[in-house]
Structure 1
């Protein structure tokens, strides 16, 4: 009985910071830590930190920490990003060969509240804007970093996927403000935007022309789609963001109809037949808010990059929940996911180009990376918003030649291209769709090492 009690004390600890409450736990060897932070009364964010076994002690190049923000909004980084894309284990709990843990410590957060294992005790507490989500995340970072001098020595890189890009740029600015005010003890290494929904207008204008060029759509579909895209542009200009979200949903239906159900995650395939969407978790889901709508069903299964099916819902609410110990009995992974997207409808189509410009102007390193065959956040649309930046280095950046990328020592197969000028970089990843780390893991891992300046 005494030993059990001592182990319980080891695994669980309680702490208070600036009026916020945290419940933390971890593995006995300290290689993993996780916990809840009550970022607002009755609003709880869940986080999970993996410490890299590959860490290299190099004072000139501190070992980085990588914060992963999933898309949706409403996608679980703790579940999807961790077990399906970059974490140390895949959905079968087998070691992942190209885990990003080889280059950095990994910090996953289920954000916004209501996502994954994060929860609210009152449904009115779900966030409605990207800025609100950033404020909650900044509060969480204060709790994790301010009392830990070891973590403070490591630069934090905010990596995002899909809608997570909007969270990343707003968090970057919020964290920077807190750092400068002395409220957050943290080194911000940079922000990386993967297949990100930074400018919805530019992206939706790219869909139909891209599909027409690919022989996937005729002129009828092109004209109808362009008309809806023009409506979206006007609605955004007038600040009618919820109306723009409704028109976006209509446009996606038109794209699906006139392309004969193209896979939004990989335009080379029909919906549900792509290398990722063919897996059960993503099958039949045709919107950028698929994550949150999937989570609200509480039933679906998936495959990791390895191929065979994995029941992620059962994994997260079975062995993982049991391991974590601190998840309340009445909280299920994904149990509140259905709350997130509806609450954010008014912010969903709002652009965040200005925030990218602000980060660049403040000297923050910003990286954009995109999968070649993604449609939902296609490279054509991403390049369009990049060209709208007011950053003073844009003209020079656009004039650069691309540098080819290869996987390891194999110089016979080009896996991507990159360009970099001052504190802005762009990576074009060939053969990848929306989920770059899962579809091109080798070159993705090399990219992460370059972005984070990992000494390994």
Structure 2
């Protein structure tokens, strides 16, 4: 009888926390510090989200507590998994508290975007998004479902913060959100868009790889000539609108760079990555592509092991085990994966397209835009980011470029941690000693940066 009572209690608790709002499934933790659910953004296309409410919240009428929407890259990488447990969420992959969680400065909203990523799923393969704009439309539908029902959330400014390819999603989403707010379809305050090591202009990044590595003695003159030759072909293909061909050459260029540099790590150029000798011996485009996609997850795995030698902390085991069990609403036939190859392949025609014009549109509309870059990232090198910034047509660009940088420090440390430049609604942060994953490489100065971007009233470090 006691077991039966316990089972009934759990069932009632489950039913009390599970809501079906038309096209949504929504749950809360018992203490209401977490919310999560699915939104059917289109018929048979389901997007998963997870919101953490900060225990560090400070109530300040003149400086509202912010919410950060984190968008992962890939495309097809899981924000609910990678951004949350690997980078900025409350717990790490060993389910231990993270001292540098961004919850110290804001509430955190993670999504698995686009559909087909992580826990998000489609019932028909035809429903995968094929453009960044389609992804933005789905995300806007998600935000409408989450924010329009909750007046408390509507009082907090939303900051869209992205990493890597997520930056392209962020700028298209920023414009979509701005329009939805104007049309009164979406009830939220758009605080700004922040682009972390973001793939905004692939052309500028691939053109930067060879010269940067040559200056650092990682490749020689022969390697520079070979890489520049391919990079210029990519530039020509982009000018001719051959975007799929450009994506294929991008992965080939990565392979050449790896060969000429003795396997430099694309996410931290001070490190080596594993050997790509199998790919180098077979000139197959598809094999080049597979190697390029695996570099992302392989680097995260090796990074985790460096910080926790002898540990496991396997993200896939975590998300398909304890976390899936906790969430309770993930369909049995949905297996979490860190990088969806299917999502990447469907977006292959978008992958190399630039989104500089969208950044210009956001700036022209008065939206706050922040760009931050890790000093030792290669895939989205600072050299490339500075190049696309100079292509902006924004009226304040000349003044912005002419301003001196301000050095950044962290707490009582004397060493320079970065530099900062700002003019009107454009900010740029140079984060020293950081690679592609800035929050994990330089957590202290990054937290200070987040507080500045969001105007967080929090004072805790």
- In structure 2, what is the Cα distance between the partners aligned to 1:107 and 1:238? 38
Query: Helix, strand or coil for the counterpart of 2:204?
Result: helix
- In structure 1, what is the Cα distance between the partners aligned to 2:42 and 2:359? 27
Q: What are the superposed Cα offsets for residues 243-300 of structure 1, whole Å, 9 maximum, x if unpaired?
A: 1101111111111111111010111121159xxxxxxxxxxx9636755x87xxxxx7
Report the aligned-residue RMSD. Answer: 1.9
Distance 1:396 1:336, change over 3 A: closer
Q: What are the superposed Cα offsets for residues 353-396 of structure 1, whole Å, 9 maximum, x if unpaired?
A: 00000000000000000000000000000000000000111111
TM-score relative to the length of structure 2: 0.92
- In structure 2, what is the Cα distance between the partners aligned to 1:287 and 1:131? 24
- In structure 2, what is the Cα distance between the partners aligned to 1:176 and 1:304? 41
- In structure 2, what is the Cα distance between the partners aligned to 1:339 and 1:304? 27
Question: Which structure has the highest helix share of the two?
Answer: 2
- In structure 1, what is the Cα distance between the partners aligned to 2:208 and 2:356? 17
Aligned counterpart, 2:348:
345
Cα contact 2:374–2:436 (8 A) shared by 1: yes
Instruction: Say yes or no: does 1:378 pair with 2:381.
Output: yes
Instruction: Say yes or no: does 1:127 pair with 2:129.
Output: yes
- In structure 2, what is the Cα distance between the partners aligned to 1:374 and 1:381? 10
Matches for 1:50-199 after TM superposition, within 5 Å: 50-199=52-201
Cα contact 2:53–2:107 (8 A) shared by 1: yes
Cα contact 1:127–1:343 (8 A) shared by 2: yes
Matches for 1:11-410 after TM superposition, within 5 Å: 11-16=17-22, 21-272=23-274, 287=292, 290-291=295-296, 303=304, 306-308=307-309, 309-334=312-337, 337-410=340-413
- In structure 2, what is the Cα distance between the partners aligned to 1:164 and 1:446? 22
- In structure 2, what is the Cα distance between the partners aligned to 1:207 and 1:91? 32
Q: How many aligned positions are there?
A: 436
Per mean C-alpha deviation after superposition, the further-off stretch among 243-252 and 61-70 is 243-252
Cα contact 2:421–2:429 (8 A) shared by 1: yes
Query: Helix, strand or coil for the counterpart of 2:21?
Result: strand
Cα contact 2:410–2:444 (8 A) shared by 1: yes
Aligned counterpart, 1:6:
12
Q: What are the superposed Cα offsets for residues 106-156 of structure 1, whole Å, 9 maximum, x if unpaired?
A: 000000011110011111111111111101000000000011100000000
Query: Helix, strand or coil for the counterpart of 1:310?
Result: coil
The unaligned stretches of length 5 or more in structure 2 are: 276-289
